[in-house]
Amino acid sequence: MRTALVTGGNRGIGLAICKGLARADHHVVLAARNQALGQEAADGLKDEGLNVSSVVLDVSDPQSALDCAAELKAQRTAVDVLVNNAGVFVPGSLLKDPDPLGQSIAVNFLGPLNTARAFVPDMMDRGWGRVVNVSSAWGSFDEGLEGTPSYAITKAALNALTVHLAREAGPDVLINALCPGWVQTRMGEDSAPWDPSGSVPERTPEEGADTAIYLATLPDGGPTGGFFRDRAPLAW
């Protein structure tokens, strides 16, 4: 049985990814920055008979990622699949706000790097791994870098990080990014004013989780260093 760690697993798309991977016969490590919220979410999935445990992980803190990896290693839990789902959407002006990018860089960009540094070298040593970076079409130049600047810029950077991590990790550890679509979560609702149509998010968290689960369960020899939506390649 593979073990999958999902960051920001306590709610939204992350929780749906946890549920989907557990149903697909994974031991899921639900990672959350708040211990009580993570425990509560994991207990809810365990009540459904799923194989889920929880850990504390604030992705913006490199030491938190290393501590999490050490804690799991002490439990003899090897992480085969890393899903970098945690993210923030921080509206604001690049020119007028005092720190327009700080939190978004820390969570959306450096977060996946912190966790990759904590878990990918071990995957490479063991000769198998999958990393899934939950990005956004708003980080795609091809789709116009839409949305609030801090979000678009850090998701574009996450896409670039995905390419380079995949190059460094080699063929045994498949590393891909995806856009889940516009999803009914706290973030999806909060980002609604940025949508030109002013309509409501179109997808359930379960629908938003589908491509992440697809990429987390790619067969050997599958794509790496790519960007996907609805299981199909998406232009950068």
- Would you please indicate which residues are annotated as catalytic (active-site) residues? 151
Q: What is the nearest approach in angstroms of ligand NAP to the Cβ of residue 127?
A: 28
Burial per residue of 178-215, b for 16 or more beta-carbon CB atoms within 10 angstroms, e otherwise = bbbbbbbbebbeebeeeeeeeeebebebebbbbbbbbb
**Ranges assigned E (strand) in the chain:** 3-6, 27-32, 52-56, 81-84, 129-134, 173-178, 227-229, 232-233
Q: How far apart are CA 131 and CA 115, in angstroms?
A: 10
Burial class (CB in 10 A: 0-12, 13-18, 19+), 222: middle
Which of 72, 86 has the CB closer to ligand NAP?
A: 86
Which of 120, 234 has the CB closer to ligand NAP?
A: 234
Count helices and strands in the chain by DSSP H and E runs: 8, 8
Q: What is the nearest approach in angstroms of ligand NAP to the Cβ of residue 63?
A: 13
Q: How many residues make up the chain in this entry?
A: 236
Provide the binding-site residues for ligand NAP, judged by CB under 6 A. Answer: 7-8, 10-14, 32-34, 37, 58-60, 85-88, 107, 134, 136, 179-180, 182-183, 185-188, 201
Q: What is the nearest approach in angstroms of ligand NAP to the Cβ of residue 89?
A: 6
Identity at 196, one-letter amino acid code? P
- Do 65 and 118 contact (CB within 8 A), yes or no? yes
Which of 198, 219 has the CB closer to ligand NAP?
A: 198
Q: What is the nearest approach in angstroms of ligand NAP to the Cβ of residue 7?
A: 6
**How many CB atoms within 10 Å of residue 176?**
27
What six digits make up the tokens of 203? 């997808």
Which of 25, 190 has the CB closer to ligand NAP?
A: 190
Q: What is the nearest approach in angstroms of ligand NAP to the Cβ of residue 149?
A: 14
Which of 14, 100 has the CB closer to ligand NAP?
A: 14
Looking from the CA of 136 toward its CB, the CA atoms found within 13 Å total 29
